[in-house]
Each structure stands twice: as C-alpha cells, then as structure tokens.
Structure 1
Amino acid sequence: MPLSEHEQRMLDQIEQALYAEDPKFANTVRHTNPAVHYKRWIIKASIGFVLGIAVLMGGMILQQPAVGALGFLIMLACALWGLSGWRKGSGGNESGGSAPQGQQQAKQARQQKPGMMHRFEERWRRRQEGDG
C-alpha cells in the first residue's frame, strides 16, 4: 500500500534527521540489501539442519533417544528458520504465480471494493488537507 503524501513527508523528515545526526550509519543502512541478510539466514539454517542430522544420527548410533530427539528438534527449528528467511527474502506470497487461484481471486475482490480502513484513511487524508 503506498504512503499518503503526509506520511511520505514525515518519512522524508525522519530520514533527513537521521542523515544529519549520523551520516555514516544512514549511509550503511541505505546501501544494505535486505535480500543478502535473508540469504545469510538460509545459509545458517542449512548448516544448522545438517548439524541436526548429525546429532540425530549420533543419537541413533549411540542408542540415546534423547540425543536423537534433540537432533530432530534442531533440524525442525533450522528448517523453520530457513523457510522464514526464504519467504521474507522472496517477498512472501506476492510473486503472483505461487499463490493459489482462490487467494488471488480474494485479493482482487478486496482491491475492487474498499473497506472500512480505506474509508478511515480517506477521512484522515481529507482532515489533514483541511477539506473538513
């Protein structure tokens, strides 16, 4: 959802204040690509998943069910962590082709008829512009 003019002005003011206060940090944040961050998540999760397999196999070899269960939990946690990084890195379900047909139709229906939040936003915008 795009920002309103008022929100965009506020964001620009905050950004300018950040540049004035700490230009080195602002420059670092501006040039950082979030996809790289999520790619690191996926790599770390993959390594953790492989370690979880090793712990699981070690528990089976040593005949220690608790160690095997711990390995399984490590695998599960790393799989969820990796999937989370993958979803966030790819933009979630907004890619169009990956969403099921029913979800796409529901999204289009929501876009065609504005809801309560749209009315609230319109009222707020009119108040901010001074139209009453």
Structure 2
Amino acid sequence: MPLSEYEQRVLEQMERALTSDDPRLANTLQSSGRRPVIRYVVAAIGLVAGLLVLVLGAANSKPILGVIGFAVMFAAVGWAFAFAPRSKGPEGVVRADGSVGARPAAKGRGGKPGLNKPGLMARLEARWDRRREQGR
C-alpha cells in the first residue's frame, strides 16, 4: 500500500532531520558498505603472485626476488583497501519549520591564523579544551 503525500513529506522531513542531527548514523544506514568484488579478486591474485615470488626468492637465495615479492603483496593489499568510497555528508540543516537550508559555515578559532584546521587534530584539541574547562 503506497504512502499518502502527507506521509511521504513527513518521512522525508524525518530523513532530513536524521541526516542533520547525526550524519554519521545516517551515512551508515544509507551506505551499502560493499566494495566491488573484482577489487578483492585482483588483490587476492596479486597477493598470491607476490607470495610465490617471495618464496621463489627465498628458495633460490635471491633476496631481490623476496623484496619484489613482498612489495607486490603489500601493493595488492594496499590497493584493495585504499580507495574507500567517501560520502559528502548531509546536504543541509532542517529548520524548526521543516524547511531545509544550507549547512552553516565552519567557525574559526578566535581569528588566530593557521588554527582553523579540520580533521583529527582539531577534534582532539577541542576535546582537550573541553576537559580542561570541566576540570576548573
């Protein structure tokens, strides 16, 4: 039984609110989490070929073959897991009236040059600052 127009609008608003409130959870629920199987098959073939070259190098006392075999194995595994699909995150923020607006711009840190950096270090520094403020 199909949803009515009202139910579809409410469901879309709920989806936008979830994406706005918790983008990581929304991304987890939306993504299939599967990579193409061919990538793993090619990586497995590269891994086995590298292992064979490594063993042949060790059996024939040729260290250069062992190094090449190890490099092929490392490259095959690295290639299999290197190119994970990345999501761009939520499209916008749901306002109180149910409309969707653009995401707010990231705020700087007191106008200090060079300290407006995204990523892991910024999150760790923010967490450290919060802990220091709670300890006072």
Q: What TM-score do you get using the length of structure 1 for normalisation?
A: 0.39
Larger Rg over CA atoms: 2
